[in-house]
């Protein structure tokens, strides 16, 4: 059913999930962005307000939400225009899917305004164009979890093939966001272009183990599989105190710990909320003496992803 106004909440997302570079991700219950969409008669995209973050352009041709909205309305023959407002609860450059939230949110909102013209799989392709503008690469490991909810595995990009995985009920995430910015484009740029066969085989085994652990609800296997021998060793140098954070999380009982997306956020997975809260305390105690402001979140895995709200 076509609507004239849409209000949505878009959750932050953890991507890569240690070993799953560009192919795995999941949404958090919190934090998240809010977006509103208003249908207008003028056949154009307007971003009328952005709150919660500085230096994000309202020019729709320089904003990932605007880019996605314009592509979708153009594909639909511009049956109407739209005004978009954005409240950022996810800091840009945080590593928990800020650009992905705006991109996926725009795809979801425009689709609802047009009467659900596209299936979710096609929404991902539109949303990836926002990620392409933000980072130079059209990756889906933030936008797909936001749109699907739960864990997702991107088996293939061409053709797009998304596998949705129901996470174990007791699985919780703890995320620490140091208040420094790591540009996704830079973090991707320092990655090695080639890896050894040994590292590739190790990574493949861990990805397979993580998927099997999630499906079997085998928490120990999940933890054993959260080992990244490709991205984490390179990107860890961008995050002050990363090794100490990881050790603190493991000492507090986490199943595993790694970098969220391109960083600087660091996440840990735990069995049960109490353990996740202990990890949060360990993160805070580790980072407090460093003189860098930070935020810590304890969250379940969002099963819904993006959802509509009253306001």
**In this predicted model, what pLDDT tens digit does every residue of 296-309 receive, in sequence order?**
999 999 999 999 99
For the chain, the farthest-separated pair of C-alpha atoms sits apart, in whole angstroms, at 58
* Same-domain pairing of 158 and 176: no
Summary count for the chain: helices (H), strands (E): 10, 11
Which residues, at least 6 apart from 251, have a Cβ–Cβ distance to it below 8 Å?
A: 282
Q: Are residues 117 and 47 in the same domain?
A: yes
On whether both 87 and 136 belong to a single domain, the answer is: yes
Q: Can you give the pLDDT at residue 54?
A: 86
Q: What is the CATH number of the domain that holds 227?
A: 3.30.70.890
157 and 139 inside one domain: yes
Number of domains in the chain: 2
Residue closest to 223 by CA, chosen among 279, 270, 274: 270
* Rounded average pLDDT over 177-192: 82
Q: 23 and 135: one domain?
A: yes
- The rounded mean pLDDT for the chain is 95
Q: Which pair of tokens denotes residue 190?
A: 């320092």
- Identify the band that residue 2 occupies on the pLDDT scale cut at 50, 70 and 90: low
**Is residue 131 among the annotated active site residues?**
yes
Q: How confident is the model at residue 149 (pLDDT cuts 50, 70, 90)?
A: very high
- Please report the pLDDT score of residue 182 as a whole number: 77
Give the per-residue pLDDT at 11.
98
**∠ CA 225-231-237, rounded to 5°:** 115
Q: For the domain that residue 75 is a member of, what is the CATH number?
A: 3.30.230.10
Q: Are 212 and 239 found together in one domain?
A: yes
Residue 192, H or E segment? none
- Under the banding of pLDDT at 50, 70 and 90, the label for residue 135 is confident
Q: What is the pTM of this model?
A: 0.93
| Residue 13 and residue 161 in one domain | yes
> Which structural domain, as residue segments, surrounds residue 250?
171-300
How many Å from the N-terminal Cα to the C-terminal Cα in the chain? 19
User: Which among 134, 138, 56 has a CA at the least distance from the CA of 95?
Assistant: 134
Q: How many CB atoms lie within 10 A of CB 169?
A: 11
Write down the H helix ranges in 76-150.
98-113, 120-135, 143-148
Of the chain, the percentage scoring pLDDT greater than 90 comes to 90
pLDDT at 225 over 80: yes
Q: What is the CA radius of gyration of the chain?
A: 19
Q: Are residues 63 and 198 in the same domain?
A: no
Question: Which stretches does DSSP call E strand in the chain?
Answer: 5-15, 24-40, 45-51, 81-87, 151-157, 160-165, 171-178, 256-259, 266-271, 294-300, 307-308
Query: Residue 1: pLDDT above 70?
Result: no
Query: 184 and 155, same structural domain?
Result: no
Q: Are residues 100 and 205 in the same domain?
A: no
Looking at the fold, whether 23 and 130 belong to one and the same domain comes out as: yes
Catalytic residue, chosen from 131, 232, 275, 286, is: 131
* Contact indicator for 15, 134 with CB cutoff of 8 Å: no
The catalytically annotated residue of 13, 114, 184, 275 is 184
Co-location of 188 and 254 in the same domain = yes
């Amino acid at each position: 059913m076509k609507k004239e106004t849409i209000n949505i909440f878009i959750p932050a997302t953890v991507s890569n999930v240690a070993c799953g570079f560009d192919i795995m991700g999941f949404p958090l219950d919190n934090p998240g962005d809010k977006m509103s969409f208003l249908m207008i008669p003028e056949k154009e995209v307007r971003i009328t307000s952005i709150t919660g973050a500085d230096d994000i352009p309202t020019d729709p041709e320089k904003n990932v939400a605007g880019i996605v909205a314009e592509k979708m309305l153009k594909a639909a023959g511009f049956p109407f225009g739209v005004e978009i407002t954005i409240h950022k609860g996810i800091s840009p450059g945080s590593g928990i899917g800020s650009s992905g939230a705006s991109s996926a949110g725009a795809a979801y909102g425009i689709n609802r305004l047009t009467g659900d013209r596209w299936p979710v799989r096609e929404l991902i392709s539109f949303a990836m164009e926002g990620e392409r503008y933000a980072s130079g690469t059209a990756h889906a490991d933030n936008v797909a979890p936001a749109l699907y909810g739960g864990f997702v595995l991107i088996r293939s990009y061409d053709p797009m093939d998304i596998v949705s995985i129901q996470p174990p009920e007791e699985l919780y995430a703890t995320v620490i966001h140091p208040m420094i910015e790591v540009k996704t484009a830079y973090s991707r740029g320092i990655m090695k272009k080639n890896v050894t066969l040994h590292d590739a085989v190790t990574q493949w085994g861990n990805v397979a183990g993580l998927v099997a652990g999630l499906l079997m609800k085998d928490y120990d296997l999940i933890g054993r599989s959260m080992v990244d021998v490709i991205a984490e060793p390179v990107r860890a140098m961008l995050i002050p105190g990363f090794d100490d954070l990881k050790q603190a999380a493991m000492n507090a009982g986490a199943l595993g710990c790694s970098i969220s997306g391109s960083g600087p956020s660091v996440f840990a997975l735990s069995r049960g909320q109490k353990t996740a809260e202990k990890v949060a305390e360990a993160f805070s105690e580790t980072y407090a003496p460093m003189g860098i402001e930070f935020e810590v979140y304890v969250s379940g895995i969002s099963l819904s992803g993006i959802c509509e709200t009253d306001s």
